[in-house]
């Protein structure tokens, strides 16, 4: 099941919109990937070309 559907179901079926937009209200709901590279870019704190915003934490996104 896609992450967006899991978050919507956990919040009582309400439509949350895109999980990505929750980053601005809940940056703690994304785990930063700060090490590694893809050969062209290096990972680091905050948004980066390797991992974007990082790995989403479904439980934190689903919390009220």
d(CA 28, CA 8): 19
pTM above 0.85, yes or no: no
Which residues are CB-neighbours of 44 under 8 A, at least 6 positions away?
34
What domain count does the chain have? 1
State the pLDDT at residue 40: 95
**Residues 9-59: pLDDT tens digits?**
777 766 656 666 666 667 788 888 999 999 999 999 888 899 888 888 888
State the pLDDT at residue 39: 94
Residue ranges making up the domain that contains 20: 3-62
């Amino acid at each position: 099941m896609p992450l967006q559907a899991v978050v919507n179901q956990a919040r009582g079926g309400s439509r949350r919109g895109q999980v990505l937009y929750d980053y601005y209200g809940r940056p703690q709901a994304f785990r930063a990937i700060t090490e590694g590279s893809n050969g062209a870019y290096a990972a680091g704190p905050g948004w980066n070309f390797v991992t974007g915003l990082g790995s989403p934490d479904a439980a934190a996104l689903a919390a009220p």
